[in-house]
Amino acid sequence: MDLGLVGKVALVTGSSRGIGRGIATRLVAEGADVVFCARGSEALDEAVAAANGPGRAHGVVADVATEEGAAAVVDGAVSVFGGLDIVVNNVGGSGASTFDGLDTEDLDAVLRKNVVPSVLVSRAALPVLRARGGGVITMVASIFGRELGGGPGYNLAKAAEISLAKTMARDLAKDSIRVFSVSPGSVLFPGGSWERRQREDPEGITAFVQREIPWGRFGTVAEIAAAGKPAIFIPFPFAADDHQTRNAQALASNGAAMVIAEKDLSAISASLPPPTSPPASAREYCAPGIPC
């Protein structure tokens, strides 16, 4: 499948590990030239070195929660690859686990980990995207920005990113800049919060998975970064010329947790051949007339 990414330039924030690294690595594999970025150089250098083309990979050390850092990663894309077509706002982080812990300091911190970088990087990228005649901006939010779960500040920040993407899509459509959000469910990867929780409380996490995730396991980075599946994030189809009217969508990839209505499941199931193995998400395939 030609995903229309050869010759495209992408920027993925928070791409030294986890979902961000998976997205950036897959973009390189599909032919895009990609700027990886993170605050530390060691893991970033490793991620860049491990990315296999035909696309090229370049790393920029920057704190994208600052205007200087946001400008640095965009400037890196322009200076090394000559422009920018795709922005993936992936960087984020959590805060207090209960409302009692959500004081102003915690709220400010969690917004600066999630929403502020998305705003700063997107704004820094606008002149370059406009000069290219358009582009794509994607927010990696969370299922907890749509449904119950997670800490209050984190939920608020991720809901804000979903809302921000819709507002930006409306405002930037005149510039041929499309904006999306994706809401991954619980994804297990080395160094991530679920790995830490699983290590600290294996029985509790096993019970959580059995109780909350119908597919019976965590998602994987590879599934979130998979190409060619219409309800899994990744801006691959969004970069192609035949998707110019697809805009402002909020996509979910969550192992059927919490958000799929029974009628949606039956309609999707009726339209599919029996899978050889369970898909990563009940929205991995889209039935006609069913929003993805």
Residue 167, both tokens: 């507002």
- What's the mean pLDDT in 18-47? 93
Rounded Cα gap, residues 154 and 148, in angstroms? 11
Does residue 283 sit within a domain?
Answer: no
Torsion of CA 196, 70, 170, 285, to 10 degrees: -40
Q: Which of residues 189 and 140 earns the better pLDDT score?
A: 140
Domain that holds residue 151: 9-260
Domain total for the chain?
Answer: 1
Does residue 276 sit within a domain?
Answer: no
Residue with tokens 């904006």: 179
Q: What is the pLDDT of residue 219?
A: 67
One-letter amino acid of 66: T
Q: What is the CATH number of the domain that holds 84?
A: 3.40.50.720
pLDDT tens digits, one per residue of 94-137: 888 889 999 999 999 999 999 999 999 999 999 999 999 999 99
* Confidence (pTM): 0.72
Q: What is the pLDDT of residue 149?
A: 72
Does residue 39 sit within a domain?
Answer: yes
Does residue 292 sit within a domain?
Answer: no
- What's the mean pLDDT in 65-77? 97
- What's the mean pLDDT in 161-169? 94
Does residue 127 sit within a domain?
Answer: yes
From 154, 233, 236, 238, active-site residue? 154
134: left (phi over 0), alpha (psi -120 to 50) or beta: left
- What's the mean pLDDT in 42-69? 96
- What's the mean pLDDT in 247-272? 39
One-letter amino acid of 200: E
Helix (H), strand (E) at residue 138: strand 135-140
Does residue 282 sit within a domain?
Answer: no
Q: What is the pLDDT of residue 222?
A: 64
Does residue 272 sit within a domain?
Answer: no
Q: What is the pLDDT of residue 61?
A: 98
Q: Does residue 154 carry a catalytic annotation?
A: yes
Q: Is the pLDDT of residue 201 over 80?
A: no
Does residue 4 sit within a domain?
Answer: no
DSSP string, 143-182: GGGTSS-S-HHHHHHHHHHHHHHHHHHHHHGGGTEEEEEE
Q: What is the pLDDT of residue 41?
A: 94
Q: Of 208, 223, 225, 224, give the one whose Cα is nearest residue 277.
A: 223
Residue 36, both tokens: 């990886």
Lowest mean pLDDT among 156-170, 191-205, 234-248: 234-248
